[in-house]
Amino acid sequence: MSETTQENIGAGTPAASRSLAEQMQAETSLKAKVNTLRTARQAWEADELAVSNHRKYEILAETYRLLLSSTAEELREVAILFDISMNAATPAASIAVKIVFGDTDRRRASSLGKVLEAAQAKKKTPEDLVQWIKDEGGVENIRLQKAKSSDKKPAEIGKAKARKQLKPVFVIPAAQAADMKDGTDGFLVHISRRNPDSGHDVLFTLNTDAVLNAVFAALAKASEGEEAPESESETRSVEVNGVTATGLKAAMKDAVQA
């Protein structure tokens, strides 16, 4: 082996095996450091991230197949076995995603659930799903497209969900609500505090647009990815200002579980 060849190997080998941190330390200018990081990021996106995303899409495609071949009731039964969080309004697509991907990351579960809902709406097959997601620019792009399909503001979305709540969880006797002035749409916000008897004392009621819109927006965000429930729960009653109504124990149990 020639001396020149040995020099080339000696000069090239350490550079090829250097870590990113070592490469960064070797650079002296900010521009060079940025270029090094950009190159590393591009290589990661083209190789590691691409492979990781492809695998995630494959798992999501099989989750989609699971969704299409199961009933909502069957998915709920399995979700209960795995202690998956859900409520009566959680869509089947979100339940399927939570079963497979877990429910600790609510944002991820919501995003992937929306992808499956969009796939259902477009009548995609499980075999089409991976390529469709790639063609659409990824999960986030599909999620944003679904969000942009409605021009409604968060407060309007939340208000619509509140209107769909057909049956109340609690009932305040009319005599106790006489001085509570509701807002334009019949809504008002109650501020309550748990009392020593485990009931709740209503301390204030508010009906200003600012307060109501903030609550509606919060409602829309809290139930993101879920349809507002056509409530099937039994109407409950509570004790307000000393007036006893039936169902207090059951109502408080629902409140605690919620």
Reported as a single tens digit per residue, the pLDDT across 160-187 is: 766 666 567 677 777 667 677 766 567 7
pLDDT tens-digit readout, 8-20: 444 444 445 789 8
Characterize 153-177 residue by residue with b for buried, 16 or more Cβ atoms within 10 angstroms of its Cβ, and e for exposed: ebbebbbebbeeeeeeebbbeeebb
Helix (H), strand (E) counts: the chain: 12, 2
Tokens 């960064």 found at:
24
CB-based contacts of 151, cutoff 8 Å, min separation 6: none
Q: Enumerate residue ranges in the chain where pLDDT < 50.
A: 1-15, 225-240, 243-249, 251-252, 256, 258
- Residue 254: its pLDDT value, please? 55
- What pLDDT score was predicted for residue 79? 93
